[in-house]
Chain A
Amino acid sequence: MPSSTSSSDSSLAKRSLAALLAVFVALNLIGLSLWQAMPLSKVSEQRYLAAAKDHVEMLRESKGEEGRIILIGGSGAAFSISAERLSEELERPVYNGGIQAGIGFRNLMDMYADHLDPEKDLIVLLPEPELLAGEARYSQVWCDVVFLGKDTERLLGQPRCLPNILHRTYQDVRHHMAGTDTVDPVYRRSGFNAVGDLTSHLEIDRSAPDFSAYDLPNLSGGQLTLFSDYARTQLAERGIDLLYIPAAMPKAACRRSPDRIATMIAELEKLTTDGPVPAEMEDFCLAPNLFFDGAGHLNKGGRELQTANVRKQLAAFLAR
């Protein structure tokens, strides 16, 4: 590069760089102001992930209820377990806190943290392997939750979400301008009931998904540790009772990776307060016709079976 430049060239270049930075910051601020000021479009209001706000509200309102049970998982928990039925059968308040694995377990629990009651709550951990494998503080799904919640505090905690938020804001401007209001018939906020179960898929008949090529994600020790450490330090050490119950899995995956599953369960069982409640793994390995889709979500029949499995484990835990 030229070894010497005139001072006017230098100051021009300095000014130019400073202007570039200033305009970049200003444009981001304009985008953020628009995000805060503009109401969410109908599409965003009804997005599946917008249910995160409802879940937080549900836990806030029910805080303090005696013997409250909160189910925690990803979309597997939301689709595949009926908190409503469990509540009737166990005669205790049960809420389904599962939404989507992509949010990340730690992010999800941070959202719920203020509304947990160490004295009265039992948290049932039902993590599907995908939730464990994808555990990260930053994800596009998490940024969407921040966007839908207009949550500036969480954005400051995860500034990497800024481009995602600007992108969603731009999309919302387009939705407003085009008047779009179409939402997915299954993945929608209104598909959840009052206790957090997703019910929009129950009346839809689909053929059994093909699990011939499906395999569980390979979990490294590090991913399991992230999950366990958080559960131990942020939940168990706060005095919250924990119970681990395996998530439902396709039979093919159980057959293909028995060792991987055994390792995962052995590690997660240690989280259960006062020791594991042994589970019959066979019960949680389900036939393809019990699944709603290839993402491991159960259909109506599968959901009944898995809810019964969870009830059995819960009853054993509560009887101790």
Chain B
Amino acid sequence: MLFSTGTFWLFFPAVLIALAANRLTLRSVTLQNAILLGASYLFYGWWDWRFLGLIIASTLIDYLAGLRMERSAGQARRRWLHLSVFANLSILGFFKYFGFFASELKAGLTAAGFSAEWGTLNIVLPVGISFYTLQTLSYSIDVYYKRTRAEPDLLRYATYVAFFPQLVAGPIERARKLIPQFAELAGPTWQSLNQGVRLVIAGLFLKVVIADNLAPFVDTIFTGYATMSGGELLLGALYFSIQIYADFAGYSSIAIGLAAMMGIRLSTNFATPFLASSISGLWRGWNITLTLFFRDYVYAELRKGKRSESRIALANIATFFVSGLWHGANWTFILWGTAHGVLLVVERRWRAAVSLDPIVWLKLAGWAYTFGLFLLLSVLFRSLDVHAATTYLARIVTEFSVPQSQRYGLLFVGLAFLIDALWRGRTRLDKGLRLEWLGPVAKEWAETVVFSLSLILVLINVATREEPNAFIYFQF
């Protein structure tokens, strides 16, 4: 069930009504969580009900492991953690990486002169598995390190794992932040409703108007890259960078907005990353909850107790290697992630010597290098294989000329930057858009008109498109 389809907008009000009815009559937390869990399973099962079994299995394993960890110590405690980590990574590994490793092993053995004749399994990747697996992993690790208590209420824990707004593409929530919200009656306020509605409109605008309108340009350029000029290929990389940003930030905004309308607060996941003037700044604003997951559970483990620069550099690169692998079982993603890790290390060394912040033109140069490198590396992210990516990148230089076609997409690039400029530092909309210079009354009216117009544009785009486009991050 996609957020941008009519089916979802029949489903969601029904959930809101059920929650409101409970709040106004029985005021039962158990019933509230049962409604949320039922709705979440229905939402997920709409794609393929068979994969519900995976979520339920993952939930039960981690629920049990969490309780056992809390009640044990030493080796026994560690064994339960290992069981949880092993189970989660096995599920993820099988569905996401089995095909990749099997084909790489086959290629390696064949290259070494061994006979490697085995068939391939066409394994379908369950939607959202990469997200909820990390969420349950973070729970187990946090319980192990006593950062959070094990949740004794199975219904509450299952709701935490499956909460539908963030189930399939995040934000990846920590147990200590989300589970306590399911321990009490969720109380949507007029403020949270107002914020939620605006976040949903903003998210739909990013997804439906910007990302989905850029999609045909991106598809055309990346499919026909062998015949396109360098300028058009550069536009392709620019369009894809904006498309994936608008797609994913749009999803996150909708998820946070929907949760807010139900009275649940989710974490901010994007904070205008394309306005950053450093790679590290960009990653502080890009898929924040995933970046924090890797920082806290991979990077922190890798550099534990080590203070040498080389160890830190290695930990950084290895973390981004894992992040790349998480994005997909393909060398393109691994290279993409690793390259970002290397850039961070280089930047860290360089930034130790030079401070950009006070000087405007240096800050601008920092933005240009940050966005430029992200844009070029995004070619790896979008290409089918490394050869296609390197050919694409080489042609940008060797076949460069001013683009004669595909320029209309720049309109949507401009819109994306305009939104970021209006939103800078205010992703939750707590203070609204950056329109204070209009004065308080005019600002309120301007925002109202902007959001109303945005909603109209969303509806027009949905109505005039044959098929809704799925969110890109569903495939990871």
- CB within 8 Å of A: which of B373-397? none
What are 29 inter-chain pairs, A to B, with CB distance below 8 A? A1-B191, A1-B192, A1-B264, A3-B187, A5-B190, A9-B191, A11-B190, A13-B190, A13-B193, A16-B448, A17-B190, A17-B193, A19-B444, A20-B194, A20-B197, A20-B198, A23-B448, A23-B452, A24-B456, A26-B452, A140-B463, A143-B463, A162-B459, A163-B456, A163-B460, A163-B462, A163-B463, A164-B460, A167-B464
Closest 9 CB pairs of A and B: A13-B190, A163-B463, A1-B192, A163-B459, A13-B194, A24-B452, A23-B452, A13-B191, A163-B460
Closest Cβ neighbor of A138 among chain B residues: B463
Given contacts A2-B191, A13-B193, A20-B452, 19 further A-B contacts (CB under 8 A): A1-B264, A1-B265, A2-B192, A5-B189, A10-B189, A14-B194, A17-B190, A17-B193, A17-B197, A20-B197, A24-B452, A27-B452, A27-B453, A161-B463, A163-B459, A163-B464, A164-B463, A166-B456, A170-B460
How many angstroms between the C-alpha atoms of A167 and B197 in the bound complex? Answer: 23
- Cα–Cα, bound, A160→B193 (Å): 25
Q: Are B191 and A20 in contact (CB under 8 A)?
A: no
**Residues of B participating in the A interface, judged by any CB pair closer than 8 Å:** 186-194, 197-198, 260, 263-265, 444-445, 448-449, 451-453, 455-456, 459-460, 462-464
Q: Is A193 in contact with chain B by the CB < 8 A criterion?
A: no
Choice from B192, B455, B463 contacting A160 with Cβ under 8 Å: B463
A257 CB-CB contact with B under 8 Å = no
Contact B464 A164 (CB under 8 A): yes
Contacts A10-B190, A28-B456; A20 near B451 (Cβ below 8 A): yes
Please give the distance in Å from B260's CB to the nearest CB on chain A: 6
Q: Is the Cβ of B444 less than 8 Å from the Cβ of A24?
A: no
Distance in angstroms between the alpha carbons of A161 and B463 in the assembled complex = 8
- The A119-145 residues at the B interface (CB cut-off 8 A) are 140, 143
Measured between beta carbons, the chain B residues less than 8 angstroms from A5 are 189-191
Please judge, given known A-B contacts A23-B448, A23-B449, A28-B456, whether A14 and B190 are in contact too, CB under 8 Å.
yes
Chain A 145-182 interface residues, beta-carbon cutoff 8 Å to B: 160-164, 166-167, 170
Taking CB atoms, residues of chain B closer than 8 Å to A13 are 189-191, 193-194
Q: Which of A3, A19, A24, A166 has a CB less than 8 Å from the CB of B460? A: A166
Cβ distance A7 to chain B, nearest Cβ, rounded Å:
10
A16-B444, A20-B197, A23-B449 known; A167-B460 Cβ under 8 A = yes
Complex interface: chain A residues within 8 A of B265 (CB):
1
Taking each of A10, A24, A26, which has the highest tally of chain B beta carbons within 10 Å of its own beta carbon? Answer: A24
**Complex Cα distance A62/B265, Å?**
65
Query: Shortest Cβ distance from B325 into chain A, in angstroms?
Result: 36
Given contacts A24-B456, A166-B460, A1 and B263 within 8 Å (CB-CB)? yes
Minimum CB–CB distance from B430 to chain A (whole Å) comes to 11
Q: Which residues of B contact A31 (CB under 8 A)?
A: 456
With both chains docked as a complex, state the minimum distance between the C-beta of B261 and any C-beta of chain A, in angstroms: 10
Are A1 and B453 in touch, CB under 8 angstroms?
no
Question: Please, how many angstroms separate the alpha-carbon atoms of A174 and B148 in the complex?
Answer: 59
Residue of A nearest to B464 (CB): A167
The answer, among A1, A9, A163, A164, for a CB contact under 8 Å with B187, is A1
